[in-house]
Amino acid sequence: MKNLLDYLQSELKEFIEPKFRAKQIYEWIYKKNAKSFDDMSNLPKELRENLKQNYYIDPLKKLKSEQSKDGSIKYLFELKDGKTIETVLLPMKSETVDEDGKITQHARYTVCVSSQVGCKIGCAFCLTAKGGFVRNLSAGEIVAQVLYLKNENNIPYERRVNVVYMGMGEPLNNLENVAKAVKIFTDNDGLAISPRRQTISTSGLSSQIKKLGEMNLGVLLAISLHAVNDELRDKLMPINRAYDIASVMDAVRNFPIDMRKRVMFEYLMMDGVNDHLSDAKTLVKLLHGIKAKVNLIYFNPHEGSEFKRPSPENMVKFQDYVCAHGVTCTIRQSKGLDISAACGQLKERSRVE
């Protein structure tokens, strides 16, 4: 059987007759939260039976969820083949109401999705890579993560979420399926999530950044930089030996970006490793001529790691220098740290773990 979530609406029209039924199916799945083909009451019974025999719409089985004190929720999902992935729902803004009970601000969420089971990049500071690479996720398995979290948390259809491809895996090592997921999310008869609400993060695969740019999907780009010289980056991120910093910067300079947006550079700060003022100075030079935003991230500790969190003082000094030299720079407060849902802490897990 095949996962119906793997298909673009245009692909459904190739084997669903008459073609308008494809739009109805899309609306049942993405707008009306249909849990089975039997729920699709305006489809002919014969079509529903055919769909039941050949397709499914539930590629994920929730094994576990944990809620952080900051409201973040980490989900452990089992896939059809028994492999597991983790997905995180991040509350960005809380709902507020006035004295009359009228909503003055709707809650806003970001979903951090996984694109692979495991990861082959092998970053020294990341827990995901410790279990090695298992396989790519299909487009439908990526899409299902957002669909499940919206349904599970009663996020109304009209409330759009942000999607960040920053969970397990290197998205650009699964570019075809990630790009297809972007298109499925964007479909107005589906979840209608604008590409500008979708951010693809990469460890710096220069050739793939170029291919992503040529697709002109309209998504935002985030670069996991984490070091400002090749010697250190080689140690932290072995992928740098194939794609050095110069090649990454060249690819970024040629990446199409909305004039209102910036390329995000993620910089994971590790005590005594890459948090010196000299690193900040080099970073500013690297970003010259790039419309960039730097996100400084505290290293998130995990068992067996040799690295430590930097001091808040060093974080602020680093930020102040970068900002003073004309580059937008923020310090990201990691969400979900207490439930191992922060950056670099996701991994494939067993049922009993």
> pTM value?
0.91
Whether 297 contacts 342, CB under 8 Å: no
Backbone angles phi, psi at 349, to 5 degrees: -130, 160
Q: Give the count of beta carbons closer than 10 Å to the beta carbon of residue 160.
A: 18
- 12 SS3 class: helix
Active site residues: 86, 343
CA angle 295, 298, 299 (to 5 degrees): 120
Domains within the chain, CATH numbers bracketed: 2-56 (1.10.150.530), 61-339 (3.20.20.70)
Annotated binding-site residue? 224: yes
- 50 SS3 class: helix
Amino acid 342: pLDDT? 46
Amino acid 341: pLDDT? 45
Annotated binding-site residue? 119: yes
Amino acid 95: pLDDT? 61
Sequence-distant (6+) residues with CB within 8 A of 249 are: 286, 290
DSSP letter at 5 equals G
Amino acid 332: pLDDT? 85
- Per-block mean pLDDT, blocks of 10 residues, the chain (353 long): 97 94 97 94 96 96 93 95 96 72 76 96 82 94 98 92 96 98 96 96 97 96 97 96 97 88 95 96 96 93 81 95 97 63 47 47
Amino acid 104: pLDDT? 61
Backbone angles phi, psi at 279, to 5 degrees: -65, -40
Amino acid 337: pLDDT? 55
Q: How far apart are the first and last CA of the chain?
A: 30
Annotated binding-site residue? 323: no
Amino acid 13: pLDDT? 96
Cis peptide before 18 (omega within 30 of 0): yes
